Amino acid sequence: MSEIHIETLGCRLNQIESEAIAAAFTNYKFSVSMQSITSASQEDDKVFLCIVNTCTVTQKAEQKARRIIRLLLKKYPYSCILVTGCYAQLAALEIEKIDKRICAVGGQIKSRIADIPPLLSAALKKDWNAEEFATDIKEKISLPQKVNLLKPENSFRLATSSFISHSRASLKIQDGCNNNCSYCAIHFARGKSVSIDVKTALDRVLELEQKGNGEVVLTSVNICQYRSEYKGTVFNFSKLLDFLLKNTEKINFRISSLYPQIVDEDFCRVISDKRVRPHFHISVQSGSDKILSAMNRAYTASSVINACKMLRDAKPECFLACDIITGFPGETDDDFNQTMKLLELCDFTWVHAFPFSERPGTEACNLKNKVPQSVSGERCKKINDWIVENKIKYLSKFVGKEMSAILENTRRSVGVSNSLFVYHAVTENFIHCEIRGGEGLPMGKTIKLRIKDILADRIKKGGEIEVSAEII
């Protein structure tokens, strides 16, 4: 049975940080589980520490965190529950009031969790008491820094080249944000922008390449704010990526998310390299300039349209996705129609659409002309209905084509021969494929496949798998 259990909510940044936390404990010979808990999970008295890496981007994210915390308290009766991440940074006392076995380590000092394995090892040699250990963490880890930092502390300390629950490697290159978007609490939770230094970034990518990883995802909060100096030269993200490409041989690069204003001629020149994956997720939020201005976003709808055109020129038939918030205060039907027009003009392959959610302490909480949740929900549904059809249209271009992909996970097929396995693979342009084959295919490695059919029913039901494929 596992002695450490980790739950992760939210962004790719949280996911890679959780993997690094897991590595810190496995290095101390602890067994770690990262399989999400459910109400059907069995009680386990061998789990001594649970870590919940939280998100605060919406009220639902915080509600989910509280639900998981209570479930962990029930399923792991002898466990201390350590809550970290953005929600823990903003509401540590509220979280700790849930139970005496809970301690909060704010997201800005998340790197200090790397100091906990020896503390846990020592505590387990005595009479174990989860409440006492929670108090111990508060006194030795979290209490020395209770106030918000100006920027995240030692943000790039948590890193790993071994991954438990992800087949594709990730590297955090930037953290925090200097923007003040009116709806967003992330700049409060993560602090001001910090960037990994160029040499450390290269060393970590080279280690991943040497270990046989076919791809690394470069993660950040705001990729536009990457800044570092190397040998007297100031590096922005484009320079960093160019440097990494020139100093590695085989490993491919995927960009987790980007902002429209980063897309310029230099950026497009760099991403045109064949080792940069043709998959881009753009932070858009609205197609109305009025709403973008109210959000304090530093671009216009025309900037988004131009960025998409330049990306497609650099990477033909790339997978383009974006985020959209519906029902922002003051959003009229006309504003929403402008958003729909933008989505159509940019021909996005996928949209992560979600209704506006008030974040305490943000400017948007005080804005008037609130949009009813029913209206926000309907607008969200309209986007989702449209994007499902647009994704199917995009996928149809690749039926019968040969592509490279990375194997993500596998399971034994149900109801057929035990020798048949079902694999999940992700292509270079982020198409999620299902492959049936024999045992022994290498997880995390690059393969060649041919797309056979579009799984339209699964897509319409919100499933992750989009097409069937075969290995060639």
Q: What pLDDT is recorded for position 162?
A: 76
Q: What pLDDT is recorded for position 447?
A: 87
- Quick one: tokens of 447? 């393969």
Residue 433 · residue 405 · CB < 8 Å:
yes
Residue 342 · residue 287 · CB < 8 Å:
yes
**CA-based nearest residue to 316, from 286, 279, 264, 366:** 279
Q: What pLDDT is recorded for position 158?
A: 87
**CA-based nearest residue to 109, from 150, 54, 155, 52:** 155
Q: Phi first, then psi: what are they for 437, rounded to 5°?
A: -170, -175
**What letters, b where the CB count within 10 A reaches 16 and e where it falls short, cover 442-456?**
eebebbebbbeebbb
Q: Which residues contact 436 (CB under 8 A, 6 or more apart)?
A: 413, 420, 421, 422, 423
Q: What pLDDT is recorded for position 1?
A: 47
Scanning 57-197, the segments in alpha helix (DSSP H) are 59-75, 86-90, 92-96, 116-124, 130-137, 186-190
pLDDT tens, the chain, 472 aa long: 469 999 999 988 999 999 999 999 999 999 999 989 999 999 999 999 999 999 999 999 999 999 999 999 999 999 999 999 999 999 999 999 999 999 999 999 999 999 999 999 999 999 999 999 999 999 998 865 444 567 888 889 888 877 776 767 899 999 999 999 999 999 889 999 999 999 999 999 999 999 988 899 999 999 999 999 999 999 999 999 999 999 999 999 999 999 999 999 999 999 999 999 999 999 999 999 999 999 999 999 999 999 999 999 999 999 999 999 999 999 999 999 999 999 999 999 999 999 999 999 999 999 999 999 999 999 999 999 999 999 999 999 999 999 999 888 777 655 555 557 888 999 999 999 999 877 767 777 788 999 999 999 999 999 999 999 999 8
Strands 402-412 and 446-454: antiparallel
Q: Phi first, then psi: what are they for 409, rounded to 5°?
A: -160, 175
Angstrom distance (rounded) from CA 349 to CA 452: 19
The sign one gets for the Cα dihedral 300, 305, 310, 315 is positive
Burial class (CB in 10 A: 0-12, 13-18, 19+), 260: buried
Residues in the chain: 472
Distances (CA, A) of 39 to 36, 73, 74, 75, 396: 10, 12, 10, 9, 38
**CA-based nearest residue to 21, from 47, 148, 13:** 13
Angstrom distance (rounded) from CA 142 to CA 74: 24
Name beta bridge partners: 432: 426
- Quick one: tokens of 154? 């030692």
Q: What pLDDT is recorded for position 142?
A: 82
* pTM reported for the whole predicted model: 0.91
Collapsing DSSP to helix, strand or coil, 228 comes out as: strand
Angstrom distance (rounded) from CA 310 to CA 260: 10
